[in-house]
Structure 1
Amino acid sequence: MYLRKNKKGFTLIELMVVVAIIGILALLGLRLYTGQQEKAKNAIVKANASTVHTLLQANLADSTYADAATAVAAITNHGLRNPYTSLDQEITSDGGTEMPESVTDKPGAIVVVQKKANAPEQYLVAGFDGEGKLLPEILTAQK
């Protein structure tokens, strides 16, 4: 009688290679997924800034505001959510006439500044990403 070797199944090396490949693919997928989440949050901030721009534009059609703080105070009950904090979107005004490059303490913030000190009816509206860096799209609202 001859004993046959049973060669069914996979070797340990083959299984380890498959597990390593699956791990690499999972890591790449996770990296792409988190990058897409950040892009989606930035898109929401841009959309919120656009909504604030539209609200401010509509308010400017009816009223005149002395400064950015007064203009921002007039935008109430907007119903926007900050995608980074999941809280109501905070709309702040900066006392200057230049848009700040970053706001480190407020991820996903929307800032309104007066475009020129002598032009009270022109405002700049911009959003900031999760790291507080200025997003590229700056909107102008004017009467």
Structure 2
Amino acid sequence: MRNQKGFTLIELMIVVAIIGILAAIAIPQYSKYQAKSKVAAAVAETAALKTGVDTYLNEGKNVTAATEVGAADTSTSNCSALSASGTASSGEATITCKIANAPAQVLDKTVTWTRDASNGWSCTTDLASENTNLAPMGCGGS
């Protein structure tokens, strides 16, 4: 009688099936993780401009472009269209970012910071209702 060496075809097929099941679960979760990270990066990138906008408005200057208040350019790796505007007389301002280089559920969606003279800054997104859980805490859907 000879000793069996190696794996049988059935054992290999079971392993391939298990790997397939794990991949079917992991790939959508990874895509969700990527989308959530991209939205958080866009929120962080635009939040950094709030100080510059506040400074301009407090000095009595109107804000007409994101590059005036600290943005290096109007597009980045996270934002394809980064803009800022504000009026010193009313104290109101907005900073917007159109999300770029992201998974489909957040691609071309907008993160908006809005400044109200009496309430300060608030963050909103235009994510679809089924994707609002992708936005960071405090920056919900519009």
Above 0.5 in TM-score? yes
Q: With CA pairs under 8 Å and 6+ residues apart, which has the higher RCO, 1 or 2?
A: 1
| 1:74-85 matches, cutoff 5 A | 74-76=68-70, 78-79=71-72, 82-84=76-78
Pairwise mapping of residues 109-120 of structure 1 onto structure 2 (< 5 A)?
Answer: 109-114=81-86
Q: Moved runs in structure 1, 4+ residues, more than 6 A?
A: none
Equivalent-residue separation in structure 2 for 1:48 and 1:28 (angstroms): 31
**Which blocks of at least 5 consecutive residues in structure 1 are unaligned?**
90-105
Change (3 A) 1:125 1:142: farther
TM-score normalised by the chain length of structure 1: 0.57
Alignment equivalent of 2:109, drawn from 124, 133, 136? 133
Partner residue, 1:96: none
1:33-48 to 2 correspondences below 5 Å: 33-48=30-45
TM-score (norm 2): 0.57
Q: Work out the CA distance in 2 between the residues paired with 1:11 and 1:42.
A: 47
Instruction: State the shift of 1:125 in Å.
Output: 1.8
Number of positions where the alignment pairs a residue of Structure 1 with one of Structure 2: 111
- Structure 1 or 2, whichever has the larger Rg, is 1
Which residues of structure 2 form unaligned runs of 5+?
Answer: 101-106, 119-142
- Three-state SS of the structure 2 residue aligned to 1:74 is helix
Distance 2:57 2:86 in 1: 13
Deviations 1:71-120 (A, max 9, x none): 545224x4588334xxxx6xxxxxxxxxxxxxxxx3xx3333458xxx55
How much has 1:18 moved relative to structure 2?
0.5
Q: Cα offset for 1:25?
A: 1.5
Letter aligned with residue 84 of structure 2: V
The within-5 A match list for 1:48-127 is 48-65=45-62, 68-69=63-64, 72=66, 74-76=68-70, 78-79=71-72, 82-84=76-78, 106=80, 109-114=81-86, 121-127=91-97
Question: Which amino acid is 2:16 matched to?
Answer: V
| Amino acid in structure 2 at the alignment position of 1:138 | W
Counterpart amino acid of residue 129 in structure 1: I
Q: 1:73 and 1:82 mapped to 2: Cα distance? A: 12
Aligned to 2:69, the other structure's residue is in SS state coil
Over the matched positions of the two proteins, sequence identity in percent amounts to: 27
AA aligned to 1:60 is L
